[in-house]
């Protein structure tokens, strides 16, 4: 933690990515919480003039509440370092690695972490023929929040007709049946495990539409699975070089025991509303949403 005095905070929100609406909600909630903590807060919708606006505001810390490409993939992080502005969450390299699903999975494999089999495929080819035996998932290699995710069920006669909004190259990943689990890591230490209950696929609506999912915190799991989730999340955070808070997402096939636990990805900038997964885990550990946001501000630095 830095000993500097922090008065003015610029909260970055919105931006041009597919996750703009989610970021607007996260950023506004964080801005409210930080004002209640006594900070002067300036909200900045990140556009082409972001660098100019930051130079005008001259914040002590930049609270990065952006999601998706440009805000979460190392681009904004690099600009903030160029401007010598302390900022929250992970730095350039960790952000870029985590956003690129294929490269992050290679990093996890090198750290002996359990991952699902996957390949990168041309979007048109994936629309014309099954790239692997169903069931499998098709998703952008560099987006989050379940934006543009297709689930091809077992026994499907034909592949999904992918939207032209999808990138030219997509990730095709084997589908792991079972439960959706997640672990927030704060300052390198796992908080707890959440079991995410939903009636279907954990897609964008399940994540962000009211009533789309139910969170069980802490998850009711066998002790070895619970402990493995915490351990893998911490190791994944370290392997990517994450800072501040990250969130590791898992699938667990309970019929296969420990062999059915698979790390899907790490999110370097988890959703930040009071009911989002990471703040919810922090609350379980006794930290209010305001204190959680304050901790991120106090943890901020420039060279991350």
Examine the residue annotation and report whether 265 is marked as an active-site residue of this protein: yes
Q: Identify the three-state secondary structure at position 133.
A: coil
The tokens describing 145, both together, are 């929040």
Let me know if 66 is exposed, middle or buried by CB neighbors in 10 A (0-12, 13-18, 19+): buried
Catalytic annotation, pick one of 43, 60, 265, 299: 265
Examine the residue annotation and report whether 145 is marked as an active-site residue of this protein: yes
Examine the residue annotation and report whether 180 is marked as an active-site residue of this protein: no
Examine the residue annotation and report whether 247 is marked as an active-site residue of this protein: yes
Beta bridge pairs of residue 121:
170
Number of DSSP helices (H) and strands (E) in the chain, helices first? 10, 12
Catalytic annotation, pick one of 14, 15, 19, 87: 19
Catalytic annotation, pick one of 90, 127, 267, 276: 267
> What count of Cα atoms within 13 Å lies in the side-chain half-sphere of residue 147?
19
For tokens 């006669």, the residue is: 157
Distance between CA 10 and CA 58 in Å, rounded? 8
For tokens 């909260």, the residue is: 11
Catalytic annotation, pick one of 95, 208, 280, 294: 208
Catalytic annotation, pick one of 271, 276, 294, 299: 271
- ∠ Cα 124 163 212 (to 5°): 135
Q: Identify the three-state secondary structure at position 175.
A: coil
Catalytic annotation, pick one of 142, 145, 246, 276: 145
Catalytic annotation, pick one of 69, 179, 235, 247: 247
Examine the residue annotation and report whether 28 is marked as an active-site residue of this protein: no
Examine the residue annotation and report whether 173 is marked as an active-site residue of this protein: no
Catalytic annotation, pick one of 203, 249, 280, 299: 249
Q: Identify the three-state secondary structure at position 72.
A: coil
Residues serving a catalytic function are 19, 145, 208, 247, 249, 265, 267, 271
């Amino acid at each position: 933690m830095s000993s500097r005095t922090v008065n003015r905070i610029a909260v970055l929100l919105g931006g041009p990515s597919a996750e703009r609406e989610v970021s607007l909600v996260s950023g506004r909630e964080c801005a409210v919480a930080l004002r209640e903590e006594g900070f002067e807060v300036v909200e900045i919708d990140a556009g082409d003039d972001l660098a100019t606006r930051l130079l005008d505001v001259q914040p002590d810390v930049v609270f990065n509440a952006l999601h998706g490409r440009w805000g979460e993939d190392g681009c904004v992080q690099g600009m903030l370092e160029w401007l010598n502005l302390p900022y929250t969450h992970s730095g350039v390299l960790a952000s870029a690695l985590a956003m690129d699903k294929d490269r992050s999975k290679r990093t996890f494999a090198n750290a002996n972490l359990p991952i699902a089999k996957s390949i990168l495929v041309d979007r048109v080819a994936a629309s014309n023929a099954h790239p692997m035996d169903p069931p499998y998932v098709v998703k952008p290699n560099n987006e989050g929040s379940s934006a543009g995710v297709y689930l091809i069920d077992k026994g499907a006669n034909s592949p999904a007709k992918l939207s032209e909004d999808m990138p030219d190259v997509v990730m095709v990943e084997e589908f792991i049946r079972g439960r959706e689990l997640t672990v927030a890591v704060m300052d390198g230490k796992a908080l707890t495990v959440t079991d995410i209950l939903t009636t279907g696929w954990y897609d964008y609506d399940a994540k962000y539409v009211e009533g789309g999912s139910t969170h069980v915190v802490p998850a009711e799991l066998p002790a070895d699975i619970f402990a493995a989730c915490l351990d893998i999340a911490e190791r994944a955070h370290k392997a990517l070089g994450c800072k501040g808070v990250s969130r590791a997402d898992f699938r667990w096939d309970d019929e296969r025991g420990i062999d059915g636990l698979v790390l899907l990805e790490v999110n370097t900038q988890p959703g930040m509303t009071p009911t989002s997964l990471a703040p919810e885990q922090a609350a379980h550990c006794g930290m209010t949403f305001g204190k959680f946001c304050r901790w991120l501000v106090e943890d901020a630095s420039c060279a991350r």
